[in-house]
Amino acid sequence: MSLAAGTKIGPYEITGALGAGGMGEVYRARDERLNRQVAVKLLPAGMAQDAERQRRFEQEARAVAALYHPNILAIYDVGTWQDQAYLVTELLEGESLRQRLRTGAMAPRKVADIGAQLAAGLAAAHQQGIVHRDLKPENIFVTRDERVKILDFGLAKAAPAGSATAPQAAAEGYTPSTVPTLAASTLPGMVLGTVGYMAPEQARGEAADARSDIFSLGAVLYEMATGERAFHKDSGIDTMHAILHEEPRELTAGGRDLPPGLTRIIERCLEKSPERRLQSAGDVAFALEGLSGSGSGTQLGGMAAAGGGAHGGWAATLRRWWPVAGVVVAAALAWFAAARHYAGNYAASAEAAAYRLRQVTFSGRVQNAATSRDGQFVAYTEATPAGVSLHTLAIATAGAAGSDVQIVPPGHGCCLAPAFTPNGSRVYFLANSWIESVPLLGGPVRKIIGDACGGVGFSPHGRRIAFIR
């Protein structure tokens, strides 16, 4: 059914059609009470006849409406009209990410910007126990002022408070979009999500949680960065098999010149095992924010320019440092530095690094510090009454909420001498006479070698380490 201009749906007057798809028809309308433009989506006809389905829909719509996040489409109202359910949202002007991707891969800085906004929206929903389960370019909208909005959010699954999983919802994808779904479609039944973007656990029909959304975000980031889908075969079954058993084509294949930091984040999001992925959308957001800014070559230049803000001067200085370990490993680092051309870059001592980190952490309790080779992150140890903890900090957003992450808590051991691996994906440190390592943004800690009394230095290719025993 197509509605003519002037049709009244409750207090909303239809002014024109916006689009239609498998999940309903979308119209531009005017809210007569507030005199504002809105979008009204009429949902499939059978929904209002199913009382339980209607109840769940309204309950979940209210949950999403309560988020009030700038990167999630705002829901204003739900109701029924002539036995047909409808949803009222803010009216967006712009284009879907799928439309934007028709021109091919995006610049790394734009990938980081859009990705950070997406991750921020996901993080806000996950904090409320809402999991999307169908994140894809068709469900992402970029407004004319480059604001990113997640569509069809949360109605697929509203988790009970304090739960990482939830019962399967009866309805999916009822938030309006002005763009009809294109090639990829949502699968009904036990396997919920979109082929090519769903996480491996979704492909197996298992319960999805926040980490499933992170995998889908990784697939979207991959497509933005390369212009290709991470998993795309001739049939849906073959694509699902690839998600379960194959790795996507290397991000740097074909001579692509992508920043190492961005490559690292995408790869971590696309880990098959949920436990090996980045564990929170908030972590992904702050990591991507650290890649924003101007730059050239294989680096986005995610540090503040000298003199640009309160942290500009020290940030520009930190960027020139190579990884610096504690004083106890100075000899090992010097050996490797002399073997390669990095010698001139180890100009600052560990004490100088700690002094700089006092300006970042504002605590004065920093003991050792090191910077990642791409200049995007600092790892440092901090002495507290409960023990020594290990942190990583996104330099570009130092001082902002979420820029500092505790990756090893107090009580683990006397964490000393942090050092980044050459590719920046892990941080090595000394604890209780063991050389151990932990992912950049936190995760399981691995014991590497025991009976050590100092930190490590890395060969240029990262395949060998030097340490003091």
> Is residue 234 annotated as a catalytic residue, yes or no?
no
Task: Report in angstroms the alpha-carbon separations of 411 from 364, 387, 408, 451.
Answer: 20, 5, 9, 19
Helix ranges (H only) for 270-405 are 281-289, 312-319, 330-339, 350-361
What span, in angstroms and rounded, lies between the C-alpha atoms of 438 and 441?
A: 8
Count of CB atoms situated within 10 Å of the CB of 165 = 15
Q: What is the DSSP string of 6-23?
A: T-EETTEEEEEEEEEETT
In this structure, the number of other CB atoms found within 10 A of the CB of residue 77 comes to 16
Rounded-to-integer distance, Cα 455 and Cα 443, Å: 20
The backbone torsions φ and ψ at residue 208, rounded to the nearest 5 degrees and listed phi first, read -100, 145
Q: Is residue 177 within 8 Å of 190, Cβ to Cβ?
A: no
Beta bridge partners of 31: 12, 36
Which has the closest alpha carbon to 416: 432, 430, 437?
430
Cα end-to-end span (Å), the chain = 77
- Pick the catalytic residue: 134, 152, 283, 404? 134
CA angle 186, 2, 5 (to 5 degrees): 125
* CA distance linking residue 243 with residue 233, whole number of Å: 10
Q: Which residues of 6-39 are buried (b: 16+ CB within 10 A; e: fewer)?
A: eeebbebbbeeebbebebbbbbbbbbeeeeeebb
Give catalytic residue positions.
134
